[in-house]
Amino acid sequence: MLGTAVRDDALTATAEGFELRIGLPWIRSMPLSSIAGLAVEVDGVPLVQGELEVMLGSRRMSPEALREERGWWFVQDRLVLAGRRALPPGTHPVAVDFQLMVPYLQARPGSPLVLPFHLEARLELDGKPVPSVSLDVA
């Protein structure tokens, strides 16, 4: 699951900075509201508040706003993380951390299971597209 969460073509340049597309590293689709603590680091430098947004179709929102979303992150689709930081051409180490609350599993009575995820890869900016049926989460 973790091996396919960040594909080789996940990092693309945009007019505002970059987009990073990540797959859901879990066995079932999950509500977007189950995502918390989303953090991104590029070239060893964390994106600070205001530099990171989540794209849902044409809507841009802060990572914290996901807790109010009613949509779903389907296992085959990619969550688009938009960074407001220009990146030079070439290869960039990226890391994404977040917690995923699994509402149908309990860690203990009355408390849902919360799983921490850490994804990392060295990605070529605007790398060669990988054949896929994935869509962006909308």
Tokens of 52: 């990171």
Please tell me the number of Cα atoms within 13 Å of 128 on its side-chain side: 1
Residue 136 identity: D
pLDDT digits (tens, 9 = 90+) for 35-89: 999 999 999 999 998 999 999 999 999 999 999 999 999 999 999 999 999 999 9
Q: Where are the domains of the chain?
A: 2-124
- Mean pLDDT on 120-135: 89
CATH for the stretch 2-124: 2.60.40
pLDDT digits (tens, 9 = 90+) for 13-39: 999 999 999 999 999 999 999 999 999
The DSSP bridge partners found for residue 80 are 21, 55
How far is 38 from 33, CA to CA, in rounded Å? 12
| Contact predicate 75/24, CB 8 Å | yes
Spatial CA neighbour of 103 closest among 23, 28, 38, 37: 28
How far is 104 from 112, CA to CA, in rounded Å? 7
**pLDDT at 9 > cutoff 70:** yes
Residue 22 identity: I
How far is 137 from 47, CA to CA, in rounded Å? 21
